[in-house]
Amino acid sequence: MRFEPLTEQHEAEGFSCGEASLDRWLTDHALTNQRRSLSRTFVAVDDTGGHPAGAGPVAGYVTLVAAAIEVAQLPGGERRSLVGLDEIGAALIARLARDRQHAQRGLGAWLLQQALHRIIDADEHLAIRAVIVDALNERAATWYQSWGFRPLPGGPADRLWLPIKRVRSSLRR
């Protein structure tokens, strides 16, 4: 599997993850938002198909966005170490989906790990204190929580977060 930035040569039209809003995002909005620097979408492409880099059918995707978290939304222990700040830098995993044809193969976990690696790389150039995700539904929230994400106490009900220090330590293993 290759993990690479979405291009016009990727075959997104046949993508189906079972959630229409995620399918539509990929086919109707991902490239436009990327061109406008509103988000970055990375795709998983099966590299056994002989497709060159930057092309091929999309097996899964993840969309990343720079974000901020109000310090007041953080748990008390985190807030105490950030006295005097209003917000902290964060990376938002805005979308993550895998095609149904790749169900039960660990592709979702692989996509998450690839996204977290990109976020760690970005933290070398930007200040990213946390990774956040807005879970689409309870099943997605449970899945993200199995990876260590926790509800953001002062945030929206569906917002989960993971401190960047935990991401770093989990990826070292």
> Is 144 an annotated catalytic residue?
yes
Helix (H) or strand (E) holding 150: strand 150-151
3-state SS, residue 149 = coil
- Partners of 163 in beta bridges: 130
Nearest 10 degrees: Cα torsion 149, 40, 26, 106: -40
Count the Cβ atoms, other than its own, within 10 Å of residue 40: 18
Count the Cβ atoms, other than its own, within 10 Å of residue 34: 16
Which residue among 3, 61, 144, 147 is the active-site one?
A: 144
Catalytically active residues are: 144
